[in-house]
Amino acid sequence: MRVGMGYDVHRLVEGRPLILGGVAIPFEKGLMGHSDADVLLHAVCDALLGAAGLGDIGMHFPDSDPRYKDISSITLLAKVMGRVREAGYRIANLDAVVTAQAPRLSPFREAMVDSIGRALGLEAHRINIKFTTTEKLGAMGKGEGMGALCVALLENPP
Ligand code: MG
């Protein structure tokens, strides 16, 4: 068994769609980044790569590479899973937390679990997603950005 953690933060700006966990969420702002800036999926990717000892998302998909401009992070997550499988692992479980002052994200939890499960070929009971605010403290509390943390546990299939 191997454990890995992932952490990411992206800035919120006007004129971008908000995509979290592969789900489009109605909101006045979206996350800024080279890809679709899906902060939750980036944390999941880094947790998986970390657990497999495969570095980080920036090593696999450099933001200097035009191929990854505005790419769906679901595509990146599926590629990461391919590399994790090649390395001989399967996922025992994922546990993630998203920090966002607004909007309320819990109505989208099930859709996020579904989309992550589809990208990873993983049952829903192995995926846990939590949401929190920072009680209006700091940059994220002012709505300047969103963050996400994820822990992944990998096991070797028998
Ligand atoms: Mg990122």
Write down the pLDDT at residue 70. 83
HSE, side-chain direction, 13 A CA sphere, residue 38: 28
Neighbouring residues of the ion ligand 1, judged by CB less than 5 Å: 8, 42
103 prior amide bond cis, ω within 30? yes
The Å distance, Cα 123 to ligand 1 centre, comes to 25
Handedness of CA 17, 140, 39, 24 (dihedral sign): negative
pLDDT of residue 67: 86
- Strand order of the β-sheet with 145-155 is 29-31, 2-14, 145-155, 90-99, 127-132
Question: Quick one: which H or E segment has residue 141?
Answer: helix 138-141
Q: Is the pLDDT of residue 158 over 80?
A: no
CA of 34 relative to ligand 1 center, distance in Å: 8
Cα(48)–Cα(77) distance, integer angstroms: 9
Distance (angstroms) between ligand 1 centre and the Cα of 53 equals: 19
Measure 37 CA to ligand 1 centroid, in angstroms: 6
Distance 121 CA to ligand 1 centre (A): 22
Mean pLDDT, the chain, whole residue set: 96
Rounded to the nearest angstrom, the distance between the alpha carbon of 93 and the centre of ligand 1 is: 21
Q: Which domain holds residue 86?
A: 2-155
Instruction: Return the CATH number at 83.
Output: 3.30.1330.50
Res 140: pLDDT: 95
Reported as a single tens digit per residue, the pLDDT across 74-122 is 999 999 999 999 999 999 999 999 999 999 999 999 999 999 999 999 9
Ligand 1: distance of its center to the CA of 158 in Å?
Answer: 33
Look at the chain and report how many structural domains it folds into.
Answer: 1
Q: How far, in Å, from the CA of 92 to the mean position of ligand 1?
A: 24
